[in-house]
Amino acid sequence: MTTVETRDRRGLLVTDAGRFHRTATGPLALDAVAAPTSSLPLAYAYMRVPCNVDDDKVVKMGHQLRYGAERMGFHLEKIFSELICGQFDEFENLLSELTSSGSRCVIVPTLRHFAKSPLHQNLILDRLFFSAEAEVWELADTFRGESR
């Protein structure tokens, strides 16, 4: 079986078997977790935290976001947590941070953390793309097919 290798826009090696991050010693398989270093591209995370969610669950989600970012070949710089329903203060802070840092990656647990409605999700995705040229990665996609 022939493996096709190309590079995505971040310079990561992409094969039909998965994504790899090229290091000085060779490719680092996606299954291995990379230590956060300055050589990895920066990413930011966004999540909405309703008031009825247990603190332990929020901490666990933060760990999952960090782990998922590392598996995707990013260093997670900061998690923006929206604590008040209907407000987008942290989202605006995220946009500001994306434009000032030059980072182009946002990681979310699911798109429902932006909004419940698919229409509103698409509007937010458009705003991220057109304001900061950011790509959004769903954490749920990262772990799909794995046993947890």
13 occurs within a structural domain: yes
Looking at the fold, whether 26 and 92 belong to one and the same domain comes out as no
Read off the pTM. Answer: 0.70
pLDDT tens per residue, range 80-121: 999 988 899 999 999 999 999 999 999 999 999 999 999 999
Q: Are residues 9 and 67 in the same domain?
A: no
Is the separation of the CB atoms in 49 and 38 below 8 Å? no
Q: Are residues 28 and 38 in the same domain?
A: no
User: Nearest to residue 43, comparing CAs of 139, 131, 113?
Assistant: 139
Tokens representing residue 132 in the block: 């900061």
- Interior angle at CA 106, CA 35 and CA 90, nearest 5: 115
Mean pLDDT of 50-73: 92
pLDDT of residue 95: 96
Residues 25 and 42 in one domain: no
For tokens 């991220």, name the residue.
128
Give 140's pLDDT tier (boundaries 50, 70, 90).
confident
Whether 126 is in a domain gets the answer yes
pLDDT at 121: 95
Integer Cα distance of 55 and 19 in angstroms: 33
Q: How far is CA 90 from CA 10, 44, 77, 130, 145, in A?
A: 26, 12, 15, 18, 31
The whole domain housing 50 covers 33-143
Q: What is the mean pLDDT of residues 63-87?
A: 93
Q: Of the given ranges (5-9, 19-23, 53-57, 110-114), which has the lowest mean pLDDT?
A: 19-23
CATH number at 65 reads 3.40.50.1390
Same domain for 63 and 104, yes or no, is yes
Give pLDDT, residue 26. Answer: 36
On average, the pLDDT of the chain sits at 78
pLDDT tier at 28, thresholds 50, 70, 90: very low
- Mark whether 103 and 77 lie in a shared domain: yes
Same domain for 114 and 50?
Answer: yes
13/66 same-domain check: no
Confidence of residue 144 (pLDDT cuts 50, 70, 90): low
Based on the fold, state whether residues 111 and 138 are members of the same structural domain: yes
Look at residue 148 and tell me if it is in a domain: no
Identify whether residues 121 and 103 lie together within a single domain. yes
Which among 54, 64, 44, 59 is positioned nearest to 106, based on CA atoms? 44
Count the domains in the chain.
2
- Do 1 and 73 sit in the same domain of this protein? no
Q: Which has more pLDDT, 28 or 111? A: 111
Is the domain of 22 the same as that of 61?
no
